[in-house]
Structure 1
């Protein structure tokens, strides 16, 4: 009898210990789930990063200033050295190189476009750029200063920025209504399909464009 009681008691004790072990082990799954949730959280944030459009716009303005300032310096030097014909040579050869260098330095694609492009490959506006340029024209016609016209937007993880380019008096030597025979001949040589003439001072000649892929 005593032996039977001892065996039953021992079995009960082992059963109870087993329940306690199982009950103690069960909560171990919770930290694992928490770790998985913590690991998943940064991934979700990375998929949809916060976009500071104002900061990107400032970066874009700096890129535009770098391109515009460098190109202006090159053109002024060429104008002093050989007049507008030499300046056209700068636009034809050095302008694409300057844009490429600024793009690499700033980490943004920087270029120039126009509704009346001179360069048939690089200067032609795409669909959204054309819409912005037309909007600039509408605002200018309503009395807004072309020098202040700018646009910034984020579309499908792509930051887009445009800054209007007003026609200055010096630009008329190559883009105006009355061109010298030498300039006309050079234009025919370099740009046989040129559309970028007939401007008057203050007209919108095009815009600087800055694009940044936000997923890279």
Structure 2
């Protein structure tokens, strides 16, 4: 009798576990697509701003447009979508404990030789008493345009605007290839 019950339980549990793994992979694929969309919109606006007014104009995109893009993506998908970092420019983007842990994991993976362009992490977690899907994709620092505002040698007129907009700015001193931060997504289950 015990064997029958055990086999019956396994019969129902194994497909459910496999379905959950498939669901996680599907959610990760959807998250990748949303990050690509977010990144594309942000890059497009940054390129246009750089062409129009250089790094000074690009700061406006990161200050005003990036949060608006995140909010629009969040509303469109019904998820919480944003960016975070261990070295913040905007304190409103501070990582929660889970995000901080993943960012630290990304740094360890980079130190071990992994390419930040390929780094992502996702899992189901318990948050506020319910299960949610969490996803993060590393943002590598590019030579151009990132270092104009995030590098060690920032032009004085750019630094002046950054100091005014972000008095607690920690997001400077990056080198090409560093992990600037990450896109972060929380999906309700």
Q: 1:50 offset after TM fit, Å?
A: 8.6
> 1:155-182 CA deviation, whole Å, 9 max, x = no partner?
1210000000000011000000000011
Q: 1:94 offset after TM fit, Å?
A: 1.0
Superposition RMSD on alpha carbons, in Å? 1.5
Equivalent residues in 2 for 1:13-28, closer than 5 Å: none
SS at 2:91 equivalent: coil
Aligned to 1:178: 153
* d(CA) in 2 for partners of 1:90, 1:143: 32
Query: Please, which runs of 5 or more residues in structure 1 have no aligned partner?
Result: 1-44
Aligned to 2:53: 82
SS at 2:163 equivalent: helix
> 1:8-55 CA deviation, whole Å, 9 max, x = no partner?
xxxxxxxxxxxxxxxxxxxxxxxxxxxxxxxxxxxxx9xxx8970000
Question: Whose strand proportion is higher, 1 or 2?
Answer: 2
Equivalent residues in 2 for 1:41-80, closer than 5 Å: 52-80=23-51
Query: Please, which runs of 5 or more residues in structure 2 have no aligned partner?
Result: 1-15
Equivalent residues in 2 for 1:126-141, closer than 5 Å: 126-141=96-111
Q: Does 1:107 align with 2:78?
A: yes
Structure with the greater relative contact order (CA < 8 A, sep ≥ 6): 1 or 2? 2
Q: 1:201 offset after TM fit, Å?
A: 0.3
SS at 2:38 equivalent: helix
* d(CA) in 2 for partners of 1:132, 1:174: 24
* d(CA) in 2 for partners of 1:57, 1:108: 13
* d(CA) in 1 for partners of 2:35, 2:77: 10
* d(CA) in 2 for partners of 1:106, 1:78: 27
Q: 1:106 offset after TM fit, Å?
A: 2.1
Aligned to 1:169: 143
Q: How many residues align?
A: 166
TM-score, normalised by the number of residues in structure 1 = 0.74
Rg comparison, structure with higher value: 1
Residue among 86, 89, 94 paired with 1:118: 89
